[in-house]
A = this chain, B = another copy of it.
Amino acid sequence: MRSSAIESERAPSRRERVRAATIEEIKATAMRMLREHGSDLRFADIAREMGMTAPALYRYYADRNELLSALMVDGFTELSAQLAAALDAPDLDDFAGRIRAAAVSYREFARADPARFSLLFGLPNPGFGSHGEHTSGPAAGAAMVALEQCLRDVIDRRQIVRPLVRHVGPRWAAESGIVQAGAGARIPADAYQSLLHFLAAVHGFACLENFDHLNWISPGARDDLFDAQIELLIVAVGARPPQSDPG
């Protein structure tokens, strides 16, 4: 029973190891090609780069889209890990600092690898309908889990987390509990809502910047703009009272 029925934790045989390594190499090569040649990923290119021929790749991925899916899963995983790391600040009481770190981390994730960000949040690819479980689950799910974790920490520490605007609609109020049930979190509907505002705002900025819709603003000014937006979001989320900004 220890080794047959459940295959989750068997000793990785040699074949499995080399296959896994090949898969990793394929993904790494594919990501590199994406970075270099834009979103038109050619199977032949990947294969040639690896010293193989194109049909060989079909032993590992049934489809071009399947490879892209795998890359997306990896990307979302890394994004959520990076977010979680940013939120897991040395000083857990510094809610504002953690929020700031998360925002910066999200933006940096996009800037460090625009191709990957485009892969995750742009139009996936021809023949890759924007609907389906590929895009959504890992994305919002992982990010939300990390953010929820942060907020729950704050609540546990009895820090005041009172969102600036507590306009909670009835349908959201009803859904908030349901949505959270999966993650095991229990957060006031208004606070949870403000986290999504945070996510939307940061994501929006990252998208605009990544997809080159802010190129009319110099990089330095963009940085300032983003900093200011973070400050606004810190206030909006309730990590700092509005008066703290003198006027």
Which A positions have Cβ atoms within 8 angstroms of B? Answer: 38-40, 114, 118, 121-132, 135-137, 139-141, 162-176, 179, 193-194, 196-197, 199-205, 207-208, 210-218, 220-221, 223-225, 227-229, 231-232, 235-236, 242, 245, 247
Q: A197-B229, A201-B197, A207-B121 are in contact. Are A126 and B167 (CB under 8 A)?
A: no
Which residues of chain B are within 8 angstroms of A127 by Cβ–Cβ distance?
A: 38, 40
Which residues of chain B are within 8 angstroms of A176 by Cβ–Cβ distance?
A: 221
Of chain B, the residue at the smallest CB distance from A240 is B165
Considering the complex of A and B, which 10 residue pairs feature the smallest CB-CB distances, nearest first? A204-B204, A169-B224, A122-B123, A40-B126, A172-B224, A175-B221, A171-B220, A200-B204, A201-B201, A203-B204
Is A114 a contact partner of B130 (Cβ separation < 8 A)?
Answer: yes
Which residues of chain B are within 8 angstroms of A167 by Cβ–Cβ distance?
A: 227-228, 231-232, 245
- Report the bound CA distance from A24 to B225 in whole Å: 39
Q: A135-B212, A217-B179, A221-B174 are in contact. Are A228 and B197 (CB under 8 A)?
A: yes
Of chain B, the residue at the smallest CB distance from A138 is B213
